[in-house]
Chain A
Amino acid sequence: MGVIDELTAEFARLPGVGRKTAARLTFFLLKRSPDEARRLARAIDAVADRVRHCSRCGNLTETDPCGLCEDPRRDRSVICVVEEAADVLAIERTGQYRGMYHVLAGRLSPLEGVGPEDLNIDSLLRRLVGSTGGKEVQELIIATNPSVEGEATALYLQKLVRPRGVRVTRLARGLPVGGDLEYADGVTIAEALSGRREL
């Protein structure tokens, strides 16, 4: 296999990239200056070398503990539990949350062979006993996806955490902002109805 085919095959392994797109990306790089290709290679190399999981929260980071865990301005009494590191970015983009995070690295899925022992649950429980900078955790916001498996994961965590005297909350579910009720599916409308609140 020549180097062009090799690079194309590597691109094709990325999510959402098929053979045609992979070939297009390869030829795009070949048309640019060699420096640009080297810059990309260096960036990929640096990510592979430097990025790891934060030993406290499981988020992806270059420093351990990560910047979020080390930030003294963040509220250490609240931890938001998410499935993946990408979910941290999604919540951070809102600019509305100033607490800490914990990345589970998945959700319970018996059919895919993911049990509690495969998730970062032990490290979460360790954080609840006062290892988060001296201030006790008072609330755990469970922000797993609103799927059957995400729901089971939330329930599992709730059963583990609630006896420790920590308040457990779950992200609200319902209609997306700007959406049309007419086009919403039955499950979403039912969830929105059951989670309705006083005006």
Chain B
Amino acid sequence: MALATLDAIILQAFPYSETSKILRLLTPGHGVQSVMAKGARRLRSRYGGILEPFTDGFATFYLRQNRELHTLSDFELVRPRQALGRDLVRFGGASLLAEIMLRTASEEAAPEVFSRVRSALDRLEAASPETVEATALAETWALITALGFGPSLDRCVECGEAVPDEGELFLDYAAGGVFCKACQGGGGGGRVLPEPARADLRALSAGVVVELPRTGAHWQLLSRFLAFHLVDAASLRSLDFLYGARGAQ
């Protein structure tokens, strides 16, 4: 047992009893950890209003092996992200990133994933209203790639041969990438990707924000791809919320 102070992003915060909160924290060295913040819901709590989803800070708690819930001792604010709640697509996008992390949660060290989530939240917050949807898409695809199940777009998932940049190819959701012309594919769920769509997806997977005239098709593609790669992804609730938020904007 050791008192540890860790870089942490609050992925989720929910009430526990009359006065406390349970937080799901993303840390670089210990993956996702759950902590209880006692007294955090009191009006004059020492934590004040900082224990909110997407907040970035230093969390101090006794890290005990084989324990599912730790007790938070201190949380030092580095970056509040209240502004994400002031725009529905930003809020939905940040929630989607958090939900993907919670669905793939493990306690293993993943510093690159932590950095990816941190920069994704920063970029979502800073994006202009015109690019916020494309930014949410780019950051989600980039996170999926950082987690190790991003789509293979440059090599055939069957034979491993490099595929040409030109022409349309079949993207197989279950196989996790494109099939070359020789291997064909298409037995499972998937769709034909025209050349520009593949270029956009390649850029998005690298976290590059591109101009997307039809974001609806991209959200649909993301939703179907995730359905094959996340447990129970059919009910990815943040994605449903994002669909609605796009209409409400």
Contact = CB atoms under 8 A, between A and B. Distances in A.
A185 B82 CA distance: 13
B91 interface: yes
A113 interface: yes
Given A110-B95, A148-B54, A187-B55, 18 more contacts: A15-B17, A16-B19, A110-B91, A110-B96, A110-B238, A115-B237, A147-B85, A150-B85, A151-B82, A151-B86, A152-B88, A156-B88, A156-B245, A159-B249, A160-B248, A185-B50, A186-B50, A186-B80
B107 interface: no
A111 B17 contact: no
B168 interface: no
Contacts of A15: 17-18
B244 A116 contact: yes
Interface in B85-117: 85-88, 91-92, 95-96, 98-99, 102
A187 B17 contact: no
A110 B238 CA distance: 5
A73 to B, nearest CB: 30
Interface string A2-41: 0000000000000110000000000000000000000000
B85 A155 contact: yes
B77 A186 contact: yes
B241 A115 contact: yes
Contact of A185 (B49, B241, B242): B49
Interface in A145-199: 146-152, 155-156, 159-160, 176, 179, 183-188, 190-191
Interface string B5-32: 0000001101001110000000000000
Contact of B244 (A115, A148, A188, A190): A115
B43 interface: yes
Contacts, number: 95
A78 to B, nearest CB: 24
A162 B237 CA distance: 27
A3 B82 CA distance: 49
Q: From DSSP, what is the main secondary structure of chain A's interface residues?
A: helix
> Which 5 pairs, one residue from A and one from B, show the smallest C-beta to C-beta distance?
A185-B48, A151-B85, A148-B85, A110-B241, A110-B238
Nearest to B78: A186
B44 A176 contact: yes
B52 interface: yes
B118 interface: no
B38 interface: no
B136 interface: no
Contacts of B19: 16
Contact of A187 (B82, B237, B242, B248): B82
A160 B244 CA distance: 12
A111 B237 contact: yes
